[in-house]
Structure 1
Amino acid sequence: MVENKTDIQQPQGAGQGPKKSRDFDLESSMHNAEDFFQKNKKVITIGLVAVVVIVGGFFAYNRFVKGPNEQKAQEMAFPAQHYFEVDSFKLALNGDGSNYGFLEVIKKYGGTKAGNLAKYQAGVSYVRLGDFQKGIDLLKEFNANDLLVQSMAYGITGDAYMELGKDAEAIEYYKKAGNYNNNELTSPLYLFRAALALEKNKKNDEAIEIYKQIKDKYPTSQEARNVDMYLARLGVVKE
């Protein structure tokens, strides 16, 4: 009887010992998690609510704030855009007493697409009125998805710097304008202005390099037609 009891108990102890240990560890871990949640329930709940609010707030902002603001900005900017198109730059900037100008659009809705475009148009207006530094400041704030308009903003910034006698800054922006978006309209125009400014500042080697760039990359442009003449006066013989 003793042997039979021993035979039965030994395998039972050997087989169940580890299983009981594993069950105990799992159960203990589950209790610890529950204890942690109970002790920190307030913090966890606040965190989850915050995530919901942030995500929900993002969509609500786009639907109920950003969308309507975009519409309001476009409506406010419309009269100013008309004045801009007919070169009435003071009215475009400041309004006419009944309608707002670009400056008010920027002040109220500068974060919208219409407000961003107003920065470009206001910057150009200031440059055209001879207030070059204000023009530069606004053009630098402007950021366009339209590659052509962005290159024009760089180029006009270069023009303003040239008017202020800041040739180094002008050359920098002319190069940015010429190389920002490769196209037949703005690229050769602003590269040509960069080359002229370099030539003016006795940086002939750099000017020659850009003249050649215009000739090679934009052979059908208006600027390319005159490049050989400018190269010749710098001692480069036409090949």
Structure 2
Amino acid sequence: MAETKNKATHPQSEPDFDLQASMHRAEDFYTKNKNIINIALLAVVVGVGGFFAYSRFVKQPQEQKAQEMIFQAQNYFAVDSFKLALNGDGNNFGFLQVVNKYGGTKAGNLAKYSAGVCYVRLGDYQKGIEMLKDFSASDLMLQPEAYGLIGDAYMELNQVNDGIEYYKKAGHYNNNELTSPVYLFRAGMALQKAGKDQDAIAIYKEIKEKYPMSAEGREIDKYLAKLGDVRH
């Protein structure tokens, strides 16, 4: 009877976990697949090590070289010598060479912005647009400037709707007293040119509400009045 009671207390349907057997199964799995496992582990180690090696031995030296290359171009840019800044002078590199060689670095990214400015100032608006669109930055002041300049270039090409789009991007990218009212105002003027007076009124009212102390905000009432909005 005792034996029957013991079987009822420990049913065979729930066997104890066999740690030793589990370890043997794991060892057997590794033995059969060790080549694949070792290759996978090696790939992870190489990947992690390669990332740090790339940062130290490739990326950092490239950044330094790009900064050295861009130096004279920046000097030309500062004195409005845009052709020399863009193409170099035969002895020193221009922004285009920096972009082509080190476009993936921070200095190379900045060279894209500067090259875009040069193209626009030289009247090559389409190339300026392409270069400025290739530039990207988290900088809260430089990025809206790039968007605004793209808007200017589109307006020069008489592509007004595209100009409006980028003026709005510039005005709304970073809400601040310095750049936002400037580009929102340009968006309003472009909207008027496109015959979209009600949209222009909405933009002007946004300037009046958000940036009343800006130069644009202090003058905005007369633009609203010209558009027949007398309830402002």
- TM-score band by shorter chain is over 0.9
How many positions carry a matched residue from both structures? 231
Q: Give the residue type in structure 1 aligned to 2:52.
A: F
Q: Which has the higher helix share?
A: 1
**Residue from 157, 174, 181 that aligns with 2:167:** 174
Q: Give the residue type in structure 1 aligned to 2:212.
A: P
**Residue from 148, 151, 156 that aligns with 1:158:** 151
Determine whether 1:86 maps to 2:79: yes
Q: Map Cα deviations across residues 80-106 of structure 1 (whole Å, 9 max, x no partner).
A: 011111111111111000001001101
**Residue from 6, 16, 23 that aligns with 1:22:** 16
Q: Map Cα deviations across residues 3-55 of structure 1 (whole Å, 9 max, x no partner).
A: xxx97xx48x859996xx536x4443322211110011011001111100000
Does the 8 Å CA contact 1:143/1:150 hold for their aligned counterparts? yes
What does residue 3 of structure 1 align with?
none
Residue aligned with 2:186, SS: helix
Q: Map Cα deviations across residues 146-194 of structure 1 (whole Å, 9 max, x no partner).
A: 1100000000000000001100000000000001111111111110000
Does the 8 Å CA contact 1:136/1:157 hold for their aligned counterparts? yes
Q: Give the residue type in structure 1 aligned to 2:112.
A: K
Q: What is the CA distance between 1:215 and its match in structure 2?
A: 1.1
Q: Give the residue type in structure 2 aligned to 1:112.
A: T
Determine whether 1:31 maps to 2:29: no
Q: Map Cα deviations across residues 98-125 of structure 1 (whole Å, 9 max, x no partner).
A: 0010011011110000000000000010
Q: 1:64 & 1:26 partners in 2: Cα distance?
A: 47
Q: 1:147 & 1:177 partners in 2: Cα distance?
A: 10
Q: 2:231 & 2:88 partners in 1: Cα distance?
A: 53
Q: 1:231 & 1:39 partners in 2: Cα distance?
A: 80
Q: Normalised by the size of structure 1, how large is the TM-score?
A: 0.90
Does the 8 Å CA contact 1:181/1:187 hold for their aligned counterparts? yes
Q: Give the residue type in structure 2 aligned to 1:206.
A: D
What does residue 230 of structure 1 align with?
223
Does the 8 Å CA contact 1:228/1:238 hold for their aligned counterparts? no
Change in Cα spacing, 1:200 to 1:17, as seen in structure 2 (3 Å) is closer
Q: Normalised by the size of structure 2, how large is the TM-score?
A: 0.93
Determine whether 1:203 maps to 2:196: yes
**Residue from 84, 90, 96 that aligns with 2:89:** 96
Determine whether 1:76 maps to 2:97: no
**Residue from 102, 110, 115 that aligns with 1:109:** 102
**Residue from 41, 48, 57 that aligns with 1:48:** 41
Residue aligned with 1:22, SS: coil
Bigger mean CA offset, 151-160 vs 222-231: 222-231
Q: 1:167 & 1:71 partners in 2: Cα distance?
A: 40
Residue aligned with 1:62, SS: helix
Q: What is the CA distance between 1:200 and its match in structure 2?
A: 1.0
RMSD between aligned residues: 2.2
**Residue from 183, 200, 212 that aligns with 1:219:** 212
Residue aligned with 1:50, SS: helix
Q: 1:115 & 1:26 partners in 2: Cα distance?
A: 58
Q: What is the CA distance between 1:132 and its match in structure 2?
A: 0.4
Q: What is the CA distance between 1:195 and its match in structure 2?
A: 0.2
Residue aligned with 1:161, SS: helix
Does the 8 Å CA contact 1:198/1:204 hold for their aligned counterparts? yes
- Larger of the two Rg values belongs to structure: 1
Q: 1:17 & 1:232 partners in 2: Cα distance?
A: 92
